[in-house]
């Protein structure tokens, strides 16, 4: 099976859009480096609650921020992989293992269009 580059490029572009939309829900682009995103921190306010409820709500917001950080990291990493794959399609080198320079099997690219390594080097 030969890799269908136009179809894989389309899949990468769709994933790129989905990742960017997901990031926009929890973060903003870093003005100093547009490849990086900054997680938006929930505003800690009392919202009219009394006593222990304020601390509980603030603790929930801090926990949510931690979750957002983890999610942002994963989304940002994947977006970088997708962008790198799209650059390789445009500039050459797409579908070539970065470790050994062998072709990445079409089946692997179909499963993960942003794959950088063949199966032998996938864990490197």
Q: Which two tokens stand for residue 42?
A: 């929930």
Contact 39, 65 (CB under 8 A): yes
- Burial level of 54, CB count in 10 A (0-12/13-18/19+)? middle
- What residue segments make up the domains of the chain, in order of their start? 5-94
pLDDT tens digits in sequence order for the chain, 124 residues long:
677 999 999 999 999 999 999 999 988 888 898 888 888 876 655 555 555 566 666 677 777 778 888 899 999 999 999 999 999 999 999 999 999 999 999 999 999 999 999 999 988 6
DSSP three-state, residue 38: strand
Residue 61 pLDDT: 72
For the entire predicted model, the pTM comes to 0.79
Nearest to 40 by CA among 26, 29, 59, 30: 26
């Amino acid at each position: 099976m030969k890799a269908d580059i136009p179809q894989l490029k389309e899949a990468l572009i769709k994933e790129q859009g989905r990742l960017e939309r997901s990031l926009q829900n929890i973060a903003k682009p870093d003005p100093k480096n547009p490849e990086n995103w900054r997680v938006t921190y929930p505003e800690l306010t009392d919202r009219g609650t009394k006593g222990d409820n304020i601390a509980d709500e603030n603790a929930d917001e801090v926990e949510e921020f931690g979750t957002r950080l983890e999610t942002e990291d994963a989304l940002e990493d994947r977006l970088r992989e997708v962008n790198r794959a799209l650059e390789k399609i445009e500039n050459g080198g797409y579908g070539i293992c970065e470790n050994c320079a062998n072709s990445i099997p079409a089946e692997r690219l179909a499963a993960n269009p942003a794959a950088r390594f063949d199966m032998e080097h996938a864990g490197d």
